[in-house]
Amino acid sequence: MKKIRFSLFAILLSVASQAQNFDLIPLGIYGGEQEDNLSAYLVGAPNDKSFLCLDAGTVNAGIRKAIELKSLTGITETVLKDQIKGYFISHGHLDHLSGLIINSPADSKKDIYAIAPVIQILQNHYFINDTWINFADQGQKPILGKYHYNELKEGVEIPVSNTFFFLKSYELSHVNPYKSTAVLVRKDEHYLLYFGDTGADRVEKSDKLNTIWNDIAPLIKKRQLNTILIEVSFPNSQPEKSLFGHLTPNLLVEELEKLKEKTGQKNLGNFNVVVTHRKPTGDNPEIIKEELLKNNPLKVNYIFPEQGKKISLP
């Protein structure tokens, strides 16, 4: 009887650890060229219509695709204004924020979450009269005040207004010393980690990823963090001198090996790695996918997102 009870408890514990905690809806998946399909991911809680947008390269076209695939309900205008509660912007490159800028006249009041250098880029280069107009609440006049800048400070967790989520940011190196950002999204005691553009520590001569691996290893061991979204922009044929602060399949594996040293192999088995920001030039997306699946010594679960198609995550 005791053995049966223990087995039942183990099964329930396993099921609980794999329960669905996040809905991920890709509004855009690529890292350039296809302006209607650039980096943007809605993260929400199951059975809820309150989303945080992780980067915003493509917004409107992605919403329409998600509605078509029944990943979102309602009309495009309602999703934009009412369901998206805020934006996290990882860095200042157009393929991560152009959808936010171009859709700002039709949007509603909400927060933009970003580190100080990214807020400065938005203030000094995008929300200005020469390129658009200032829809935010700081910067060049006239100030329309639709968006409120909410500064992220490394290692400090803050709540996301009108959602279940909390955010903690980490700096990344995207051609050192240019700063990109990763963000740890928490709902209750469960986490999801999203990376903006990043190079490998060895190539960037940086320790930014190692700092993150140290911080998240305990969460992975406790099964509180089961998924990361991380970029792989180029296939392995791309010379390291021409990566421009990005990863290849081999460099991702190199970094995951460092994570394994801190978590142990057993804790990375079936760990979800959502592969973002593949450059769509030629056959690159399929080559990157093939190279990752062929060389997977850690047996992680690679997920290759499709625009508009919902992904349910533990």
Whether pLDDT at 7 is above 60: no
Tell me the per-residue pLDDT of 123-182, one tens digit each, with 9 for 90 and over.
999 999 999 999 999 999 999 999 999 999 999 999 999 999 999 999 999 999 999 999
Show Cβ contacts of residue 15 under 8 Å, excluding neighbours closer than 6 positions. Answer: none
- Average of pLDDT values for 190-213? 98
- Average of pLDDT values for 70-87? 98
Model pTM score: 0.94
Residue 113's nearest CA partner among 147, 78, 143 is 147
For residue 18, the model assigns a pLDDT of 61
* Sequence-ordered strand ranges (E) for 75-207: 84-88, 110-115, 134-136, 143-152, 158-159, 165-173, 179-187, 190-195
In percent, how much of the chain has pLDDT > 90? 93
Task: Report d(CA 31, CA 182) in Å as an integer.
Answer: 16
Between 21 and 8, the more confident residue is 21
The Cβ of residue 302 has, within 10 Å, a number of other Cβ atoms equal to 16
Tell me the per-residue pLDDT of 255-283, one tens digit each, with 9 for 90 and over.
999 999 999 999 998 899 999 999 999 99
Whether pLDDT at 236 is above 60: yes
- Average of pLDDT values for 36-43? 98
In what helix (H) or strand (E) does residue 112 lie, and over which residues does it extend?
strand 110-115
Whether pLDDT at 87 is above 50: yes
Report the chain's mean pLDDT, rounded to a whole number: 95
Show Cβ contacts of residue 135 under 8 Å, excluding neighbours closer than 6 positions. Answer: 104, 105, 107, 127, 144, 145, 146, 147
Cis ω before 105 (30° cut-off from 0): no
For residue 40, the model assigns a pLDDT of 99
Cβ contact 151:111 at 8 Å: no
- Average of pLDDT values for 39-50? 96
- Average of pLDDT values for 66-85? 98
For residue 6, the model assigns a pLDDT of 47
For residue 12, the model assigns a pLDDT of 45
Residue 97's nearest CA partner among 38, 137, 181 is 38
* Helix segments in 115-199, DSSP class H: 116-121
For residue 9, the model assigns a pLDDT of 46
- Average of pLDDT values for 281-309? 98
Tell me the per-residue pLDDT of 92-130, one tens digit each, with 9 for 90 and over.
999 999 999 999 999 999 999 999 999 999 999 999 999
Tell me the per-residue pLDDT of 51-62, one tens digit each, with 9 for 90 and over.
999 999 999 999
For residue 19, the model assigns a pLDDT of 86
- Strands 272-276 and 301-303 turn out to be parallel
For residue 16, the model assigns a pLDDT of 46
Joined together, the tokens standing for residue 87 give 């934006």
For residue 67, the model assigns a pLDDT of 98
For residue 219, the model assigns a pLDDT of 98
- Average of pLDDT values for 300-313? 98
